[in-house]
Amino acid sequence: MKQQWMVALVAAAGVLSGCSKVTAENYAKLDVGMERQEVEQLLGKPDQCEAALGAKSCIWGDEKRHIKVAFAGDTAMLFSSKGAL
């Protein structure tokens, strides 16, 4: 019984990690000038955003592996990545 539980847990973790939209393929699709809505269609809702003086910076992922997009208004101006995408 315990072994079946562990197998199910490992399988669930694999499925969840496979659902991440923080990938090299999606990063390559980002382009300066994209609207925020387009970025969110590609990457989903951001995990964290910070705003200051009309600019907003959003992160998809975590500290070790993420995609970061800086917006002026609702337009993507800069983007970067961290970790093995």
In this predicted model, what pLDDT tens digit does every residue of 8-57 receive, in sequence order?
Answer: 333 333 334 446 899 999 999 999 999 999 999 999 999 999 999 989 99
Q: How many domains does the chain have?
A: 1
Output the pLDDT for position 1: 55
Instruction: Convert 39-77 to b/e letters by CB count within 10 Å (16 or more is b).
Output: beebbeebeeeeeeeeebbbbbbeeeebbbbebeeeebe
Q: Mean pLDDT across the stretch 58-79?
A: 96
Report if residue 15 sits inside a domain.
Answer: no
Question: Strand pairing partners for 72?
Answer: 55, 75
CATH number, domain of 68, equals 3.30.1450.10
Domain that holds residue 44: 22-82
- Distance of alpha carbon 85 from alpha carbon 76, whole angstroms: 20
Output the pLDDT for position 85: 79
Output the pLDDT for position 67: 98
Enter the pTM of the model.
Answer: 0.76
